[in-house]
Chains A and B, each alone.
Chain A
């Protein structure tokens, strides 16, 4: 997990459960009341911020991208969030499964569909488009 250059406190992946190159990835994040952003979102009423659910999907897509390319350093830029819907709040004590699958790949644009689930319920769904540049050196989202 450490080789993904996305350290504390913004790492929203605890474990990669399944990964198929150029296809899909499933990652897991446990939510606990101790997390830094829950102290302000909201005081006395901790709810996982929806945008961080989105961030979890983005990070899942980034791992999938990096593994699919397997060419050392790449430069990736999140270009577009096509459609995103938050369906359910995520609370401390729950476990979020992030499922991200590759929809299409027309270089340099890679499109993904992501789904965050708690138990069997969908918490969020998103369409993500990344611009991938393999020539440049350096890693950026």
Chain B
């Protein structure tokens, strides 16, 4: 899935669209995404590496695509809202820096009503740089509600 298509599923835009491409996806289950780091991104003005908080956001956005594709598969017109609900036990081994390609892997491990728990991992090449669990809450908007243009996504 290319970036243009990702933008149909996520409301995030520059400068906060933190996934470039989806390599493999099983709607509602799991996905692998890519985020490339290049020197002229805005956060490199302050950091020499990809900030860990933004790495979490990248993983959450891939998770958002997993849930959004599933919802659209069931009903192409559906509107939804996703929220970043939390994180459990997320460990960092190293922070990626400029010129690296991060592979983002997420897989739904548990869903409780509208909260989805993902096991998420980030790799550079074969090296695992971070991993843990992230929680997203995701709900469909009622069709009678105001149409707010594109779906709102994860604050976070």
Residues of A at the B interface (CB closer than 8 Å) are 6-11, 36-37, 39-45, 47-55, 58, 77-86, 89, 126, 140-141
- The residues in B between 43 and 91 inclusive whose CB is less than 8 angstroms from any CB of A are 43, 45-49, 51-54, 56-57, 60, 83-91
Report yes or no: B16 in contact with A40, Cβ–Cβ below 8 A.
yes
Q: List, sorted by A's number, 29 A–B pairs whose CB atoms are closer than 8 Å.
A: A8-B45, A9-B45, A10-B46, A10-B47, A10-B51, A37-B15, A39-B15, A40-B15, A41-B16, A42-B12, A42-B153, A43-B13, A47-B155, A49-B16, A50-B155, A50-B156, A51-B60, A53-B156, A55-B51, A55-B54, A78-B52, A80-B89, A81-B89, A84-B87, A84-B88, A86-B83, A86-B84, A140-B48, A141-B47
Decide yes or no: A9 and B42 within 8 Å by CB, A41-B155, A50-B84, A51-B54 being known contacts: yes
Contacts of A10 in B (CB 8 A): 43, 45-47, 51
Contact partners of A36 in chain B: CB under 8 A? 15, 42
Q: Is the CB of B132 closer than 8 A to any CB of chain A? A: yes
What string of 1s and 0s marks CB contacts (under 8 Å) between B126-156 and chain A? 0000001000000000000000110011111
Contacts of A126 in B (CB 8 A): 87
**Which B-chain residue is minimally distant from A56 (CB atoms)?**
B53
B156 contact set on A, CB distance < 8 A: 49-51, 53, 86
The answer to whether B53 and A55 have CB atoms under 8 Å apart is yes
Please tell me if B11 contacts chain A, counting CB pairs below 8 Å.
Answer: yes
The chain B residues found within 8 Å of chain A, CB to CB, are: 11-17, 42-43, 45-49, 51-54, 56-57, 60, 83-92, 95, 132, 148-149, 152-156
Beta-carbon nearest neighbor of A89 in chain B: B155
- What's the nearest-Cβ distance from chain A to residue B9, in Å? 13
A33 to B: closest C-beta gap in Å:
14
Contact across chains for A51 and B56 when beta carbons are under 8 A apart: yes
B45 touches A7 (CB 8 A): yes
Q: For the complex, give the distance between the alpha carbons of A53 and B152 in Å.
A: 19
How many angstroms from the CA of A52 to the CA of B89 in the assembled complex?
Answer: 18
Nearest-CB distance from B42 to chain A (Å)? 6
